[in-house]
Structure 1
Amino acid sequence: MRKLLPLIGTPSQSHPGGRSAMTCRFRCGDACFHEVPNTSDNEYVGDVIAGALSRRSMMRAAAVVTVAGAAGAASVAGARPAGAATPEASAASYGKPSAPSKGARGLRYSSVAPNTTDAVTVPDGYGQNVVIRWGEPILRGAPAFDPENQTPAAQAGQFGYNNDFLALLPLPGERNRQLLVANHEYTDEILMFRGYDAANPTRQQVEIAWAAHGLSAVVVEGDRKTGKLVAVPRHPLNRRVTATTEFRITGPAAGSALLKTSADPTGTKALGTLNNCSGGTTPWGTTLHGEENFNQYFANSSRATDKRYGIGTGATERKWERFDKRFDVAQEPNEVHRFGYVVEFDPYDPASTPRKHTALGRFKHEAATVRLTCDGRPVVYSGDDERFDYFYKFVSSKRMKHGTSRAVREHNLSLLDEGTLYVAKLTGDSPAIEIDGTGKLPSDGEFDGSGEWIPLATATAKGAVSHVEGMTAEEVFVFTRLAGDKVGATKMDRPEDIEPSPVTGKVYVALTNNSNRGVGTNAKADEANPRNANKHGHVLELTERWNQPESTKFAWSLFLVAGDPDDPATYFAGFPKDDVSPISCPDNVAFDPYGNLWISTDGAQLGSHDGLFGVATRGARRGELKQFLTVPKGAETCGPIIQERRVLVAVQHPGEIDGATVEKPASTWPDGPGKIVRPAVVAVWRADGDDIGV
């Protein structure tokens, strides 16, 4: 019997999702302690059996076609989370690590034991380095990082705070170099500023925080003999996008009265991007970034539509509304409607204006991953990271063009402005009585069923059409959650990252957790979310009908039900549970070149630090899950990128433990005692120079 590590912190210090109270405070505005925004009475999958398309008939149909639709996914390299060090010898409470010779190709490494080491811990025989830290200068003229004398101007030229999504893009003509793009999700002023007074932040502190949000583009150079990766400062392609950078609003809601403000009466220009979580890359060479918990930055709302998005009625944590009225809903009621979109960024053009694509809907976007149809139209998958909210896809009506001319590039930058936005509705194939909330498998041996993509609205060059009764198209694109409520979309357990397999075309959805499932009057367990008080989360595997991403029908099953393998409520795609690593709270997902799924975690509930895991998705070892690394104390694993010879992760909010401050740090990572704790990007490689996991 495996013995769990002791839980980190006390119940009073830990939030239901497993994060520290400090993380919840700054990252999502204490969402877990607020009323659940979704109070709709949508049907639940376990109650909707009649008339459902049989999953098995769909699977038989899918088996007779090729995987042509996966070509688009192959061009979208996975990108997400963190670390490296040496495994903690005393943390073998989960049994002996697996031998590196075992495992599917790409996963042949010694699995890291669960641990609470204040370091990035990687398998035996692997090395690591910090690629870039918060505050390192990347633009010409930016000063060296000095946390005691930081300024807004300095931060605007330096790598931002709390790196999340990562993308690595090729740099033709520059040997051993790639272009790294990183999201900067949020700031934690208590860990940034000595003596920070949360009740009375200064204008300078607020403006530094504005500059620490957004995106960074920085060229990185690899060591040919190892996997070491270092930033190249002052490269012409290096760029910062912040909370005050100008954005172009595009798509069907651009120019709408719902988006017009006193500063922008056209409704087509917005300043900044906030709370960028996960994202994706496009086959035409841009990056996509999801604006997630934007609600927490806006104060003094009194509208029902805002309540559905979790926007508060009082002051905000950061008090930005004191310094810019656009963050005060009472003064600028439409400014909040200009956040919550997928942002497109062209890292190859430092003069380009980033775009906010309203056609992909407005909600707490987690991820924006692209797959091409057989005829070259992009399909974008995105999750709404909220308890009981939905996951979506957008199918463009325009085909991607190939080439590098300005006209071609401009055409491709408009691909996400015309098409149809859909929301998912899932139906279980087991009787509702067999889904009892414990995670016990139904009589057919798996949680599975069928589903449909319900159209919400279609945007064209001539206008937009709503498919939701009682809502205009503009309302659908701005109040997308309300549209999902109206059409009866399936309430999910925090749908986070979504990633299509470049090998099989199957789509994987990480559902992090939902401690409110089945509690009080909240929605009970259903076949797609089979555990009440679900604190560990699960991973959904979805097969589009005929393996065509534009299809409106799909089959689904739960690939993983996370937690302690000794818990009978866990499931690892049928693989024997005595030979897998424990995992809790799946967050970001990515694929390696061999078709293995890699999962990073956020808020793990098993006593160990968060980490990164690889799991085989096909073959005899399907479901075998092995831990690759853990991150330091208080940190979350984000933005994993899995290449043949290198793994990249973003170590977000290290040391973010209740009671920690600059004066009393809870972590000494990455630079040791006496240095300020800094979020950073880490590269991991095999010490012998060979490929990862082979």
Structure 2
Amino acid sequence: MTGDQVSFTPGRLLPLLTHPSGRAATTCLYRCGNQCAHEAPNTSTNTYFGDVVQAVSRRGAFKAGAVMAAAAGGFAAMNALGGATATAAVPPALAGRGRPVPGTDFTPVPPNRADAVVIPDGWAQNVVIRWGDPVVPGAPEFDIARQTAAAQAKQFGYNNDFVGLVPQDRQGKRFLMVVNHEYTTETQMFPPGQYDPANPTEEQVKIGWAAHGLSVVLVEKQRDGGLSVVPSHYGRRITLDTTFEVRGPAAGSQYLKTSADPTGTKVRGTQNNCSGGVTPWGTVLSGEENFHQYFANSDKVTDPAERARLTRYGIGKGTTTRKWERFDKRWDVPSEPNEVNRFGWVVEIDPNDPDSTPVKHTALGRFKHEAANVKITADGRVAVYSGDDERFEYIYKFVSKGKYKPGTSAHARRHNSALLDEGTLYVAKFTGDSPAGQIDGTGKLPADGEFDGRGEWIPLVSGNKSFVDGFTAEEVYVFTRQAADKAGATKMDRPEDIEPNPVNGRIYAALTNNTDRGAAGKAGVDEANPRVGNKNGHILEWAEDRDDAAATTFSWRLLLVCGDPATADTYFGGFPKDQVSPISCPDNVAFDPYGNLWIATDGNALGTNDGLFSVPVDGPERGQVKQFLTVPIGAETCGPNVTSDFVTVAVQHPGEGGTVTNPQSHWPDGGSNLPRPAVVSVWRKRR
């Protein structure tokens, strides 16, 4: 579907969905264990932004930005998206500022509630791969009425999130596509009458295990411009039954040993993999996020220290939604108290070697990783940025001890992967440069015209040395949240995807939302989280001092304060608010070849479908948000890639909020079919 088939009146947004997060209740239950309906696990009393004011010049704070724009190196810039200037079906102001910024020359798609992927006029789309499609050679055809765990272990998993593209040729025609399968929604995976949530069968539980994890497929650009899967020996499924190697300083820890793995060095499976990143050496990093919901009966643990650790990670009491603990004791906390500590890590996959053993990197800390993305430091080391996706959690950075070796050969991949096993783990503390009284919770800009300030990276641990009083190094790695509490990190509004911009060198983070901000007994507003009851989220931008990812200080500012541009509490980088698309709940971020920021949303609190948006970050068009596409009703936009030739997105949980007997969506197969998560490619039509 293209943008001219829907209509929308700017400033007249649809009602907010009934669930506090803006998502369907089913989504919240199965994706994160309904965590937004529970108290946030972070009850620490860290210093807030408003408690300390540093007199930092806004002009001086980002003086480094011009240097970065001129000296940005280390990544090769690609060609930009080509095509004609957008001219139709947009507010007159949007079409009247001259030639669009390269890479953003498309007609914005209006907000809508269509059961389709809606794209700009002049563009085309196709489904690359959907839940149940073959991945491993010899995989059976998908039959929704006759699913088996053995079949699912060879087929594309459920609820695709991150999509990573690893180039296979210099022409940009073939890629290994690595896709996360974040979670399963069993009540929507089986035909009517087959699944009883209170009494799942063992086979249904094992189907769920097989539908988690990751898929690797070879994709090829077709003559018309879209991507399609090419059967190959690279086809691979990684599931909750795949063996992972535990590496880094916490490997063999007393907190990781179980009856099935007394060495604490081998973990069975990965789960709730949210976003991720492609490394410069050609592997994929994937973050294990909401692992807390899979473990049962934490209330039966009696040791006070252990109970405090479980509570800090939100491990649930009583039985779980999926009832996995009935079929494997590792999901029952009293039976296997350390199994929960074996999840919440950054994992690394080598898609170029189908026989390789995936890795869990303990040096990057254990929390609810949304993603992990790499930037090379000025002296050639590796920095990895990651957010902890929950209300009032933190932003982290790891800097390796050893130096990066350029290249994607097998030797380079092994060398660079090992860099993630030794280094220093930091957590971020932000300070605003405006008086606390000017940050009043309404989203009104302070007197200097921006939400901005300075920040520092607080070291938590390096090798076997802990920098946190009362914590051993082993405890910092395994119980990172509690160590960061003690260090005085800044509580953020759900820090999700964090990525460095390969063109201007700055770092961008999506802060999705936090409706608890400023509530009674909760952290109040500060300059980096400036709104009470933040339901629409914001985008944070920072510049490491000296444009060096190894620096321990930085300057920051908010690029976007998201929401309806017609309301007073929004900000679009200083760009006129009557000339932007509404945007709510930023989740994943990506960059096109020109360095424009692209934002995928999750949980649009404005009542319309989630989408993908472009935003120039430099020059006179900085802050001009334009909606490129929307995903079907009930779906979330995930894993964007924006290349010189095509755009990809993962469409997660289409139709959630409906039921198998009364589905809200029939995307992508149409007719009376149940909805299926899928990856879509979009490209400009040839003239």
Match of 2:369 in 1: 365
Query: Aligned equivalents of 2:564 and 2:583: distance in 1?
Result: 7
Query: Aligned equivalents of 1:669 and 1:122: distance in 2?
Result: 15
Query: Aligned equivalents of 2:115 and 2:33: distance in 1?
Result: 26
The amino acid of 1:180's aligned partner reads M
Structure 1 residues 383 and 75: alpha-carbon distance in aligned structure 2, compared to 1, 3 A threshold: farther
Structure 1 residues 406 and 132: alpha-carbon distance in aligned structure 2, compared to 1, 3 A threshold: closer
Match of 2:352 in 1: 348
Query: Aligned equivalents of 2:70 and 2:289: distance in 1?
Result: 32
2:459 counterpart of 1:455? yes
2:321 counterpart of 1:317? yes
Q: CA deviation at 1:36?
A: 1.1
The amino acid of 1:481's aligned partner reads R
2:122 to 116, 120, 125: 125
Match of 1:672 in 2: 670
Structure 1 residues 96 and 49: alpha-carbon distance in aligned structure 2, compared to 1, 3 A threshold: closer
Match of 2:568 in 1: 568
Match of 1:647 in 2: 647
Match of 2:218 in 1: 219
Secondary structure (helix, strand or coil) at the match of 2:465 reads strand
Structure 1 residues 603 and 681: alpha-carbon distance in aligned structure 2, compared to 1, 3 A threshold: same
Query: Aligned equivalents of 2:467 and 2:401: distance in 1?
Result: 16
Query: Aligned equivalents of 1:77 and 1:549: distance in 2?
Result: 25
Runs (5+) with no aligned partner, structure 1: 79-86, 690-694
Are the counterparts in 2 of residues 614 and 627 from structure 1 also a CA contact under 8 Å?
yes
Q: CA deviation at 1:98?
A: 4.4
Q: CA deviation at 1:646?
A: 0.2
Q: Deviations over 1:174-198 (max 9, x none)?
A: 9832111100000000110122211
Query: Aligned equivalents of 2:254 and 2:469: distance in 1?
Result: 20
Structure 1 residues 202 and 341: alpha-carbon distance in aligned structure 2, compared to 1, 3 A threshold: same
Query: Aligned equivalents of 1:247 and 1:596: distance in 2?
Result: 36
Query: Aligned equivalents of 2:514 and 2:489: distance in 1?
Result: 17
Are the counterparts in 2 of residues 219 and 237 from structure 1 also a CA contact under 8 Å?
yes
2:14 counterpart of 1:6? yes
Q: Deviations over 1:639-664 (max 9, x none)?
A: 0000011000000000101xx22232
Match of 1:43 in 2: 47
Are the counterparts in 1 of residues 65 and 506 from structure 2 also a CA contact under 8 Å?
no
Q: CA deviation at 1:340?
A: 0.3
Match of 1:197 in 2: 196
Structure 1 residues 447 and 175: alpha-carbon distance in aligned structure 2, compared to 1, 3 A threshold: closer
Secondary structure (helix, strand or coil) at the match of 1:259 reads coil
2:259 counterpart of 1:256? no
Structure 1 residues 524 and 8: alpha-carbon distance in aligned structure 2, compared to 1, 3 A threshold: closer
RMSD between aligned alpha carbons? 2.2
Structure 1 residues 501 and 406: alpha-carbon distance in aligned structure 2, compared to 1, 3 A threshold: closer
Query: Aligned equivalents of 1:55 and 1:335: distance in 2?
Result: 47
The amino acid of 2:117's aligned partner reads V
The amino acid of 1:39's aligned partner reads T
The amino acid of 2:148's aligned partner reads T
Match of 1:34 in 2: 38
Structure 1 residues 137 and 528: alpha-carbon distance in aligned structure 2, compared to 1, 3 A threshold: same
Structure 1 residues 613 and 283: alpha-carbon distance in aligned structure 2, compared to 1, 3 A threshold: same
2:173 counterpart of 1:176? yes
Secondary structure (helix, strand or coil) at the match of 1:26 reads helix
Q: CA deviation at 1:102?
A: 4.4
Q: CA deviation at 1:62?
A: 6.0
Secondary structure (helix, strand or coil) at the match of 2:370 reads strand
Query: Aligned equivalents of 2:414 and 2:622: distance in 1?
Result: 42
The amino acid of 1:188's aligned partner reads T
Structure 1 residues 111 and 673: alpha-carbon distance in aligned structure 2, compared to 1, 3 A threshold: same
Match of 1:290 in 2: 287
2:614 counterpart of 1:614? yes
Q: Deviations over 1:312-337 (max 9, x none)?
A: 11111101111110011110000000
Are the counterparts in 2 of residues 77 and 641 from structure 1 also a CA contact under 8 Å?
no
Q: Deviations over 1:33-79 (max 9, x none)?
A: 111100000011121115x66554443356557765x544659999x
The amino acid of 1:363's aligned partner reads F
The amino acid of 1:344's aligned partner reads E
The amino acid of 2:660's aligned partner reads V
Structure 1 residues 404 and 546: alpha-carbon distance in aligned structure 2, compared to 1, 3 A threshold: closer
Structure 1 residues 139 and 477: alpha-carbon distance in aligned structure 2, compared to 1, 3 A threshold: same
Structure 1 residues 101 and 232: alpha-carbon distance in aligned structure 2, compared to 1, 3 A threshold: farther
Q: Deviations over 1:77-105 (max 9, x none)?
A: 99xxxxxxxx9x9xx89789748974211
Counterparts in 2 of 1:519-534, with a 5 A limit? 519-534=519-534
Query: Aligned equivalents of 1:604 and 1:646: distance in 2?
Result: 25
Q: CA deviation at 1:471?
A: 0.2
1:156 to 139, 153, 158: 153
Counterparts in 2 of 1:264-283, with a 5 A limit? 264-283=261-280
Structure 1 residues 372 and 629: alpha-carbon distance in aligned structure 2, compared to 1, 3 A threshold: same
Query: Aligned equivalents of 1:614 and 1:275: distance in 2?
Result: 27
Q: Deviations over 1:499-536 (max 9, x none)?
A: 11111101011000000001111111110000000000
The amino acid of 2:10's aligned partner reads R
Query: Aligned equivalents of 1:668 and 1:99: distance in 2?
Result: 38
Are the counterparts in 1 of residues 388 and 394 from structure 2 also a CA contact under 8 Å?
yes
Counterparts in 2 of 1:438-477, with a 5 A limit? 438-459=442-463, 464-477=464-477
Q: CA deviation at 1:374?
A: 2.4
Query: Aligned equivalents of 1:15 and 1:512: distance in 2?
Result: 15
Are the counterparts in 2 of residues 99 and 110 from structure 1 also a CA contact under 8 Å?
no
Query: Aligned equivalents of 1:388 and 1:98: distance in 2?
Result: 39
Match of 1:424 in 2: 428
Query: Aligned equivalents of 1:324 and 1:257: distance in 2?
Result: 22
Secondary structure (helix, strand or coil) at the match of 1:23 reads helix
Q: CA deviation at 1:216?
A: 0.4
Are the counterparts in 2 of residues 44 and 491 from structure 1 also a CA contact under 8 Å?
yes
Structure 1 residues 150 and 76: alpha-carbon distance in aligned structure 2, compared to 1, 3 A threshold: farther
2:398 to 389, 394, 400: 394
Secondary structure (helix, strand or coil) at the match of 1:414 reads helix
Q: Deviations over 1:343-393 (max 9, x none)?
A: 000000001000000100000001101011123211000000000000101
Secondary structure (helix, strand or coil) at the match of 2:414 reads helix
Match of 1:437 in 2: 441
Q: CA deviation at 1:486?
A: 0.4
Q: CA deviation at 1:266?
A: 0.3
Structure 1 residues 440 and 54: alpha-carbon distance in aligned structure 2, compared to 1, 3 A threshold: same
Are the counterparts in 1 of residues 77 and 593 from structure 2 also a CA contact under 8 Å?
no
The amino acid of 1:149's aligned partner reads R
Match of 2:516 in 1: 516
Aligned residues with identical type, % of pairs: 63
Query: Aligned equivalents of 1:560 and 1:165: distance in 2?
Result: 23
Secondary structure (helix, strand or coil) at the match of 2:686 reads coil
Query: Aligned equivalents of 1:442 and 1:478: distance in 2?
Result: 39
The amino acid of 1:511's aligned partner reads L
1:410 to 396, 408, 414: 414
Are the counterparts in 1 of residues 377 and 549 from structure 2 also a CA contact under 8 Å?
yes
Match of 2:133 in 1: 136
The amino acid of 2:14's aligned partner reads P
2:63 counterpart of 1:60? yes
Secondary structure (helix, strand or coil) at the match of 2:420 reads helix
Query: Aligned equivalents of 1:543 and 1:174: distance in 2?
Result: 33
Are the counterparts in 2 of residues 246 and 269 from structure 1 also a CA contact under 8 Å?
yes
Are the counterparts in 1 of residues 432 and 453 from structure 2 also a CA contact under 8 Å?
yes
Secondary structure (helix, strand or coil) at the match of 2:402 reads coil
Are the counterparts in 1 of residues 367 and 388 from structure 2 also a CA contact under 8 Å?
yes
Q: CA deviation at 1:5?
A: 3.0
Structure 1 residues 67 and 381: alpha-carbon distance in aligned structure 2, compared to 1, 3 A threshold: farther
The amino acid of 1:489's aligned partner reads A
Are the counterparts in 2 of residues 73 and 500 from structure 1 also a CA contact under 8 Å?
no
**TM, length-normalised to structure 1:** 0.92
Are the counterparts in 2 of residues 370 and 379 from structure 1 also a CA contact under 8 Å?
yes
Query: How many residues end up aligned between the 2 structures?
Result: 664
Match of 1:84 in 2: none
Match of 2:304 in 1: none
Are the counterparts in 2 of residues 575 and 622 from structure 1 also a CA contact under 8 Å?
yes
Q: CA deviation at 1:408?
A: 3.7
Secondary structure (helix, strand or coil) at the match of 2:246 reads strand
Secondary structure (helix, strand or coil) at the match of 1:551 reads coil
